[in-house]
Structure 1
Amino acid sequence: MVERLRGGDVRALARAISMVEDAQPGARELLAACEEFAGQAVKIGITGPPGAGKSTLVDQMAQWLEAHGEKVGVLAIDPTSPYTGGALLGDRIRMREPVGNSGIYVRSMASRGAVGGLADAVRDACKVLEASGRSRILIETVGVGQDEVEIARLADVTVLVLVPGMGDDVQSMKAGVMEIADVFAVNKSDCDGADRVVAEILAMQGLSGSTQDRVSVVQTVATTGNGIDELMAAVAQSGERKKVRLPAVAGTWSRGLRVGQADIDALDLDPLKSDRLDLDHLGVAVRSIAAAGRFYEMLGLKVAHEEIVEHEQVKVAMLPVGNSRVELLEPTVEDSVIGRFLTKRGEGLHHIAVRVGDVDGMFEKLKESGVRLVSEQVRTGAGGHRYFFVHPSSTGGVLVEIVGKG
């Protein structure tokens, strides 16, 4: 059977996966024979909540890989049918293009009650796919929740798919599944709220304090293929960062644009090389500092400073977090910048602030470089710091405040 697998026999491949999935006689011997080919494929995990468009995105990724000369295996983990015990095949419905294509093999597998978004036999199925010469294996999980992180233990690179408009915006502020991502894909980015999801993911990463290991954030529209080139480039770069072997098209992938950390890197236009950018604070628009502050108190954060900035018509409460802080912004009048933000978008992340050594020098450098600035000049804000704002159109969708000394 292994000889047939190596020869490209798709029927033998389907039969072999069924053998290991059902633990049929001969399955152990088959896996032992496949063992010498283990580790030859790059495994890319695609996970995220139900309805995020994972299957359609996997369809696009598989076709992209095949167009770049790769033989692709897709393992789509579906919920188990309560009647037959098999997969519900929802993934196959959304992957009509690759099915039957010689360069792409798609297999649905029932979760069969396994936790973590995978099926128990998925590791063995990967070995069979590797023996069949598949150089890339895409593994799509069942729609997962916060603590279902098994895919990270299996995949070389994990793509977490998020979408706007799925409940509390900050899927990005949750622990668990958010921490396993090597690449964030904000899918359905043609819908309202996508930029906000991106901003919240970047803000969450900013709270970690480290700028070196930030995860790429890519906006995609799976139904049209928009953003797939950027997504695959981010996957390749994540693999290189993790020292995953990426043969054949690694050079092709690497020519893509690095999308991750775009909001910060877009501002690093040789901005005084001796003084790298650092996260200063996150500005969060709230209707009531007193009401919102109760949550942060439960986290152990306390207001270190509070004041009213008259010219901004805002009351500010500063809560230190490590070397950074959260700033709660409550409007003092309804027709103010923060007041209008609350009316239009509701409570949430208003801006990200990064700190530089020479705020005046940075203002001139960005202005000369054609970056769109919201501020006409550097101003003095809460706590006496000096600042100006960069328009979201130049930063990847989030309002960025540059703060520092003169």
Structure 2
Amino acid sequence: MHAWPASEVPALPGKGRDLKIHDSATQGTITLAPGPVARIYVCGITPYDATHIGHAATYNAFDLVQRVWLDTKRQVHYVQNVTDVDDPLLERALRDGQDWTELAERETSLFREDMTALRMLPPQHYIGAVEAIPGIVPLVERLRDAGAAYELDGDIYFSVESDPNFGQVSHLDAQAMRLLSAERGGDPDRAGKKNPLDPMLWMAARPGEPSWDGASLGRGRPGWHIECVAIALDHLGMGFDIQGGGSDLAFPHHEMGASHAQVLTGEFPMAKAYVHAGMVALHGEKMSKSKGNLVFVSALRRAGVDPAAIRLALLSHHYRADWEWTDEVLAEAVARLERWRAAVSRPDGLPADALVEEIREALVNDLDAPGALAAVDRWVDAQNASDGDDESAPGLVSRAVDALLGVAL
């Protein structure tokens, strides 16, 4: 599966600093100091109802991570998956009378278009669950053969008790885990499981549903969590720098994936930091596919909204915050974009070297994008209120906003 084209990231004078970011596993801020190549895995979409603002907010957060790392003169090895076969996708295709593969391909293509428009830097490896199946099957077999998985009516389940570190990503108690498991794709009430929280690794073929050859597992398809584990281990290995996604992935997805990987490799932890973006609401409720209260990036673009304004709307909220999308949020972003573009369109201006450092400082402190926007606002206000004579300043501001915030002025 191919990703989307990369926009050029302008080079800036000087060098950025190491990223300090909130880690869900330690429940505090840690400083990441990757080697020459920083490694990040971000969980991708299940391709239906793409791309809504909640998606865009999540991928915007991890795009900022990439930009901070690139500013330190590191390379970034970024991997993202597409869950292109899963129960919700099959259910949507059945509901709408569509072929599930056509639905997945169409929505993935739309997602690529939206990511391109929003200037999100693409992953080096963009992998679908279906194409990852040949690598998933051996991992499930290894877990089963090691006694960390068991069969139940042809399905294969992972035993959470096989990982002594289970629970150290989300820090939830058993009752909370059970409730979230039921809400987020698990089956805690299924009879015969060793532990209600045990997640499925391999689902035996069901009539009328797609299935693949699973070697000794029989025909079937992979569970949700093992998909990301196989892709991450294949392309990044253990101990990569960031495992990222929305806050609704902390449990069960990231918790279960970490346990799968840790049992498979005998190493801990799977990732140095587990980073989670907040949820976006609409009309007082979390934006979600099940509720249908979605605002789509593609619909905004068709309505003539500049993608740079959409990006500024996302950047105006801290990535870990839960917030609400409103017409006012978008209107403020459109107005900000106009002010910024007017300020950098002048032939000269106020010196901007200090501004570049302010943006850098804000972003390395847990991706404080609102703080970075406020710094640019201050420069713009001063630029509009006085005459400057630095001919290089407007261009430097444009390059900095592009390189560090992904907004083309």
Normalised by the size of structure 1, how large is the TM-score? 0.26
Larger Rg: 1
More strand by share: 1
Normalised by the size of structure 2, how large is the TM-score? 0.26
Higher relative contact order (CA closer than 8 Å, sequence separation 6+): 2
More helix by share: 2
